[in-house]
């Protein structure tokens, strides 16, 4: 096989692989949970929840929120670089990883938006 043919084959294969990765990553959706469904089985998993901000504590690099839905309450931790404008009783949707801190489950937030 010629070197130019091998180069073309390699280029086509790599572009096809990148395209497949993009398609697969767009089709993967994180499961939405009710707060009472988040248990030890979800440790280190990505979850999505919707709820109301029940309490906010803000420090220079961290925001701690208690999020409540009709099934329970959980703490959400947001590491931040700039000020965030969220208020008590605001409805939000968040996505993040379930962690344990001081024997309680919490969510370390990756994405947060109002609804």
On whether both 65 and 9 belong to a single domain, the answer is no
On whether both 46 and 97 belong to a single domain, the answer is yes
On whether both 60 and 12 belong to a single domain, the answer is no
Model pLDDT, residue 24: 86
User: Which domain covers residue 68, as residue numbers?
Assistant: 35-114
On whether both 80 and 105 belong to a single domain, the answer is yes
Other residues' Cβ atoms within 10 Å of the Cβ of residue 97 = 16
Number of domains in the chain: 2
Model pLDDT, residue 35: 98
On whether both 17 and 69 belong to a single domain, the answer is no
On whether both 25 and 39 belong to a single domain, the answer is no
- Give the separation between CA 108 and CA 79, rounded to whole angstroms: 8
Instruction: Quote the pTM value.
Output: 0.77
On whether both 17 and 63 belong to a single domain, the answer is no
For each of the chain's 115 residues, which pLDDT tens digit applies?
A: 789 899 999 999 999 999 999 888 877 888 999 999 999 999 999 999 999 999 999 988 999 999 999 999 999 999 988 888 899 999 999 999 999 999 999 999 999 999 8
Model pLDDT, residue 64: 96
Contact assessment for residue 109 and residue 96, using Cβ atoms and an 8 Å cutoff: yes
How do strand 72-79 and strand 104-114 relate by DSSP bridges?
parallel
On whether both 41 and 54 belong to a single domain, the answer is yes
Model pLDDT, residue 29: 83
On whether both 6 and 60 belong to a single domain, the answer is no
Model pLDDT, residue 16: 96
């Amino acid at each position: 096989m010629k070197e130019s043919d091998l180069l073309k084959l390699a280029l086509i294969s790599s572009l096809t692989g990148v395209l497949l990765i993009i398609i697969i990553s767009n089709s993967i959706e994180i499961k939405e949970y009710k707060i009472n469904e988040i248990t030890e089985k979800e440790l280190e998993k990505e979850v999505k929840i919707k709820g109301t901000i029940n309490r906010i504590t803000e420090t220079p690099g961290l925001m701690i929120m208690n999020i409540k839905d009709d099934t329970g309450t959980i703490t959400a931790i947001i590491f931040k670089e700039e000020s965030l404008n969220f208020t008590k009783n605001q409805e939000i949707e968040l996505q993040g990883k379930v962690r344990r801190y001081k024997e309680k489950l919490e969510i370390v937030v990756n994405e947060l938006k109002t609804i």
